[in-house]
Amino acid sequence: MTTTTSARPDHRQNRNTETTRLLLVSALLVLILAILPTVLYLTGHTFWLDIFTRLVILAIAAVGLNLILGLGGMVSFGHAAYIGLGAYAVGIPAYHSTYGGMDAIATYNGFFHLALALTVSALFALVTGIISLRTRGVNFIMITMAFAQMMYYAIVSLETYGGDDGLTIDVRSEFPIISLDDPLTLYAVSFISLIIIVFLVHRISNSRFGLTLQGARSNEERMLAIGVNCYKYQLAAFVMSGVICGYAGFLLGNFTTFISPEMMDWTRSGEIMIMVILGGATFLWGPVIGAIVFIILEYVLSEVTVYWHLPFGLLLIFSVLFLRNGLASVLQRSHSQAGKGQ
Amino acid sequence: MEFSLLLIQLLNGLQLGILLFLLSAGLTLTFGIMDFVNLAHGALYMLGAFFCASLTLYTGSFILAILLALPLTALAGYLLEKLVVQHLYDRNHLDHVLATFGLILCIDTIVHIIWGPQGIAIPLPAWLSGQVELFDGVVLPSYRLLIIGVGLLAAAGLYVLVNHTRLGMLIRAGASNRKMVGALGVDITALFSGVFALGAALAGLAGMLIAPITEASIGMGSDIIITTFVVIIIGGIGSMKGAFLAALLVGLIDTFGRSFLDDFFKLLMSTEAAETAAPAVSAMLIYILMAIILAFRPQGLFPPLSR
Amino acid sequence: MKKILSIATLTALISSPLFAADEVKIGFVTTLTTGAASMGKDQENAVNLALEHIGNTMGGKPVKLIMADDGFKPEVGKQATDKLVKQDDVDFVAGYLWSHVLLASRKSVLDSGKFLISANAGPSAVAGKLCHKNFFSASWQNDQTPMAMGETLNKQGVKSIYVMAPNYAAGKDMVAGVERTFNGEIVGKDLTKWGKDAQLDFSAELAKAKASGAEGLFVFYPGKAGGAFIKQYEQAGLRDTLPLYTVFTIDALSLPKLQEGGMKGVLGSQMTQFWSPDLDNETNTRFVADFRAKHGSYPSFYAAQAYDSIMLIKSAVDAVDGNLDDMDGMRAAMKTADFPSVRGKFSYGNNHMPIQNFYTRTVVEDKDGNWTTTIDETVLENHQDIYAANCSM
């Protein structure tokens, strides 16, 4: 990882320990996510690989959301829409390949699916972002939710693709050399994607672009006063974040091989948001930790009792009451985001 | 389109709007005064319905049950505020979301454990289960008229409370500048608890009124909470007047969309296409409305001054 | 973090049976949480009663039942199914209240070479182009029940109806079904919002229905929406002017609540179904009597189907004397539908969907004062779904 050169000399000592800690946490998480699922899979616990695949894909979405939420202070309550769009970008071409019609997009080609997922998410983010970014605070939360709900009902009305019943993907995206049908390959792809995306977000947050976003978060008027128009930076970040979630949707579609409008429901947007907050929005690995804890807890508790929502809900409440900045604050006192806490 | 049908749908829209107002009044108060995002507001609506249902079956009287359930729901709100919410006022909105989402899960499950998974139907007294003919051809269930009446009464009561009492003055002051109110020596803790309990009672009342039409069921709160947020955002956070007008607007638009959109679409496209498009678009209408309003008035229709 | 993970792993290791016990493992997926949990609970009760009736043995082996919750969501249902197949390694996966949950989960079960038994959902796809040799239905195909209703309306000389259903695939199936057989005119149609924040206040639609001047009102509202609909129908005073015809709306779960709420309007309303608590055969009499003795209420049709799915599985395991590797033997046994079914004798079509009778039922008060339904007549005899032709088996 990178060491920043912009740190002032008297902060260098401090920055160094921070960097070391960040590296340690990164190494630990990467090791756990690389080794544990593989070992479980090879020892016959195939279902655990499923859990980890889902977890890693949702972690990608959470990291994507945190790009605007943690860095830019823009709380989007509609990011499930991008996951859904990414998944339908796999499902719809595959559907037409299997059952005919719409020859222009009917293909199993993975590169086409991927390009479609990213383009559609980017466009949706661009259009809704232009309007949403006019609002601030809670109104921003609600307007992003409104756009996601519109997309949800739009997909529900598409009877060809199953409407509310959803769509089964019979054939996964096809790529040369690798096959996503192999669970271990799919996990590896998701895992490596996560690492790359976390690294990219880390670079972005330390770049001029990232610093501008953080400036906009803490004081937009002051940014304007020094001649920076935050709007276009925020819009760019909003689109990037949407594209990352669209990519997560592309992976999720290939993983579950079943997609439905339910994936874009506001409760799903809420879940991703909760992963971010639970893990800690101000930490690089926060969203990943949040996703891990959320998914594993959900699974383990629901195994124990059908009333698992009660202990789960209590844990959420206690984590807010007693951990101020999310779970990651326990592991990592501070994070690479410069300018934090000033 | 017949005039009488139009009138009936107008009243139906009004009734929906009134219920939404009762829900959003409490939400917009807690939001405006305490700056607290309460996703669990719908849970109080559900609790109100369940309290009222149980009490109706126990006492045999729907009216008595409402009178008993109101303070009970207010008490539930008060306890919630003391136990959890109070400790979160100095946190940011994200912490509120996380904690109140946890609260929804807890309350839903507790209700599941106490009352079982199935909902409870509330029997109406005979004098409420009939119909009333308002004009020639305009027949409405009398219970729906009661909802409109009770709702308007509650709205009038709130108006008086907010605009013509000392408590209301503090509430209005709090919505504009809560730090200043605290600095002026007002017992802010008590004020917050009181407002929260009041909001809970109003949400509970909405639940009690709707339960004889639908039923008291688990998850009814989470179903309605998003619409309630839409209302207070359109109205402008913290504004009672905004919440009232936005609730009526949302109620009417939703009802008219469901009633007449398919006929309208049939003028523009084939019958089959209209039948597919109309339900989808009418479900989207309130979100479209909110997006349009926020695009042009990012603060909502009636934002309180000096926010 | 590592600690949390290793605890989780440990729990998984303990809970996952690495040893293969000599037992018949059945996974049953239904809705055990959310507002729809009462349907799932009814099914669970019926499954347990069925196991009690057969002494918890199939083909000389003890039965291990694993209940799983779909949370009313396709994604969760599929996850639960994956767990049953991959971790618990069950021999049969049964259940599924919801069409979309079944469609989401079917591939997981069938790809792993296990049997899938639907105890409720019957979407057209699994009866037609997605039919599979290892899939069997213990219920019906979605279109059949409303088709029977269309016939009932014809027989009773109803000339025009107004149609209401939720706006999702099963709702559209139901509307299509009644349209297929009903000869009169459909004067109006409303598809209302469904899903998480489903519409439960039908005032606007009921006003339209009344204004339309139809002779009858056909509705499909499963679960809690059904109870809500009936109440509003009653409150709107439509009982005398607009008779009600329903499918999957009024059932043994909603009737006690409607009775408690004094909704007398529902008495006398008609529905169609493949089964009824008063259907006269030995198996059904015993099932209904024992269910009532144990749980105090009539079983719903969800329960009846769940009971049948266990009996169907038992017939397969018995036929191969508990040799669970003999898939072909078990499949052949199930195809004959040779087991004591609560619906009486029926047969399977090429697509493994039942070919069975459909009855007109009326809501009445039984001799103890409980509201239930009785059979009036057989409206469709040995009826096969129309999608069987699309099935290549």
**Binary contact (C237, B12; C-beta < 8 A):** no
pLDDT over 70 for what percent of chain B?
Answer: 98
Query: What is residue A334's predicted lDDT score, i.e. its pLDDT?
Result: 46
**Binary contact (C15, A289; C-beta < 8 A):** no
Q: Among partner residues C4, C79, C168, which is closest to A163 by beta-carbon distance?
A: C168
CA-to-CA distance for B297 and B123, rounded, in angstroms? 44
Average confidence (pLDDT) over A24-45: 89
Q: E strands along chain B, which residues? A: 131-135, 138-141
pLDDT in tens, B94-136: 889 889 999 999 999 999 999 988 788 888 888 888 888 877 7
Looking at this predicted complex, what is its ipTM?
Answer: 0.86
Reported as a pLDDT band with limits 50, 70 and 90, residue B150 is very high
**Binary contact (C199, B223; C-beta < 8 A):** no
Q: Where are the domains of chain C?
A: 23-140+280-356, 144-273
Residues 191-210 on C with a CB inside 8 Å of B are 191-193, 196-201, 203-205, 207-208
Best-predicted range by mean pLDDT among B279-283, C154-158, C233-237? C154-158
pLDDT over 70 for what percent of chain C?
Answer: 94
pLDDT in tens, A300-323: 998 888 888 999 999 999 988 888
Reported as a pLDDT band with limits 50, 70 and 90, residue B227 is very high
Mutate one of C70, C168, C231 to test the B interface: name it (highest B CB count within 10 A).
C231
Question: Is residue B229 within 8 angstroms of chain C, CB to CB?
Answer: no
pLDDT surpasses 90 at C346: yes
Reported as a pLDDT band with limits 50, 70 and 90, residue C44 is very high
Phi-psi region of B51 (alpha: psi -120 to 50; beta: other; left: phi over 0): alpha
**Is residue B26 within 8 Å of C217, Cβ to Cβ?**
no
Question: Is residue B214 within 8 angstroms of chain C, CB to CB?
Answer: yes
**Is residue A198 within 8 Å of A335, Cβ to Cβ?**
no
Between A10 and B271, the higher pLDDT residue: B271
Query: What is residue B267's predicted lDDT score, i.e. its pLDDT?
Result: 85
Distance of CA C82 to the CA centre of its chain: 22
CA-to-CA distance for C258 and C371, rounded, in angstroms? 9
Fill in the DSSP letter of residue A182. Answer: S
Domains C23-140+280-356 and C144-273 share a fold: yes
| A–C interface: beta-carbon pairs under 8 A | 104
Query: What is residue A333's predicted lDDT score, i.e. its pLDDT?
Result: 53
Q: What are phi and psi of B211, to 5 degrees?
A: -55, -40
CA-to-CA distance for A221 and A11, rounded, in angstroms? 28
Residues 60-99 on C with a CB inside 8 Å of A are 69, 73-75, 78-79, 82-83, 86-87, 99
**Binary contact (C191, B275; C-beta < 8 A):** yes
**Is residue B128 within 8 Å of B146, Cβ to Cβ?**
yes
CA-to-CA distance for A232 and A218, rounded, in angstroms? 17
Q: Give the predicted TM-score (pTM) of the model.
A: 0.87
Query: What is residue B266's predicted lDDT score, i.e. its pLDDT?
Result: 84
Q: Where are the domains of chain A?
A: 15-331
Q: Report which secondary-structure segment, H or E, holds B92.
A: none
- The three-state secondary structure class of B145 is helix
pLDDT in tens, A109-158: 999 999 999 999 999 999 999 999 988 888 899 899 999 999 998 998 88
**Is residue B173 within 8 Å of B40, Cβ to Cβ?**
no
Instruction: Using alpha carbons, select from C117, C373, C132 the residue that is nearest to residue C254.
Output: C373
Query: Please, what sign has the CA dihedral across residues B163, B167, B169, B174?
Result: negative
CA-to-CA distance for B58 and A175, rounded, in angstroms? 65
Q: How many CA atoms lie within 13 A of C137 on its CB side?
A: 32
Query: Please, what sign has the CA dihedral across residues C94, A311, B211, C199?
Result: negative
Average confidence (pLDDT) over B132-156: 87
pLDDT in tens, A192-219: 999 999 999 999 999 999 988 888 888 8
Query: What is residue A19's predicted lDDT score, i.e. its pLDDT?
Result: 81
pLDDT in tens, B20-40: 999 999 898 888 888 888 999
CA-to-CA distance for C104 and C79, rounded, in angstroms? 9
- The three-state secondary structure class of C166 is strand
**Is residue B55 within 8 Å of B122, Cβ to Cβ?**
no
Q: Among partner residues A146, A156, A315, which is closest to B280 by beta-carbon distance?
A: A156
Average confidence (pLDDT) over C194-221: 87
Contacts of B152 (CB under 8 A, 6+ apart): B18
| A–B interface: beta-carbon pairs under 8 A | 124
Between A61 and B217, the higher pLDDT residue: A61
C contacts of B271 (beta carbons < 8 Å)? none
Q: Chain-wide mean pLDDT for chain B? A: 88
Reported as a pLDDT band with limits 50, 70 and 90, residue C222 is confident
Which CATH entry fits the domain spanning A15-331: 2.30.29, 1.10.10, 1.10.3470, 2.60.40? Answer: 1.10.3470
Q: Among the listed ranges B53-67, B209-223, C80-94, which one has the minimum average pLDDT value?
A: B209-223
Fill in the DSSP letter of residue C277. Answer: T
Mutate one of A164, A171, A309 to test the C interface: name it (highest C CB count within 10 A).
A164
Please name the residue ranges forming H helices in chain C: 2-15, 37-53, 74-86, 99-111, 124-127, 144-155, 169-181, 203-212, 224-235, 254-260, 282-295, 301-319, 327-335
Reported as a pLDDT band with limits 50, 70 and 90, residue C6 is low
CA-to-CA distance for B106 and B128, rounded, in angstroms? 35
Query: What is residue A336's predicted lDDT score, i.e. its pLDDT?
Result: 41
Q: Which amino acid is located at B230 in the chain?
A: V
Query: Please, what sign has the CA dihedral across residues C86, C87, C91, C97?
Result: negative
Q: Which amino acid is located at B157 in the chain?
A: G
C144-273 under CATH 3.50.50.60, yes or no: no
Q: Which CATH class is domain C23-140+280-356?
A: alpha beta
**Is residue B9 within 8 Å of B179, Cβ to Cβ?**
no
The encoded tokens of residue B66 equal 């409402």
Which domains are delineated in chain B? 8-125+136-296 (1.10.3470)
Question: Is residue A270 within 8 angstroms of chain B, CB to CB?
Answer: yes
Angle subtended at Cα A196 by Cα A195 and Cα A200, rounded to the nearest 5 degrees: 120
Q: What are phi and psi of C67, to 5 degrees?
A: -85, 145
> Which neighbouring-strand residues pair with C219?
C164, C246
Q: Which amino acid is located at A33 in the chain?
A: L
Q: Which amino acid is located at C330 in the chain?
A: M
Q: Among the listed ranges B186-190, C151-155, C286-290, C377-381, which one has the minimum average pLDDT value?
A: B186-190
Average confidence (pLDDT) over A74-87: 95
pLDDT surpasses 50 at A4: no
Query: What is residue C2's predicted lDDT score, i.e. its pLDDT?
Result: 45
Torsion of CA C73, C75, C80, C81, to 10 degrees: 110
Q: Chain-wide mean pLDDT for chain A? A: 87
Distance of CA A247 to the CA centre of its chain: 9
Q: How many CA atoms lie within 13 A of B231 on its CB side?
A: 33
**Binary contact (C204, B116; C-beta < 8 A):** no
Alpha-carbon gap: B180 to the closest alpha carbon of chain C (Å): 40
Residue-wise DSSP of C105-127: HHHHHHHTT-EEEESS---HHHH
Average confidence (pLDDT) over B234-245: 90
pLDDT in tens, A88-108: 999 999 999 988 888 888 889
Pairing of strands A258-259, A167-168: antiparallel
pLDDT surpasses 50 at C26: yes
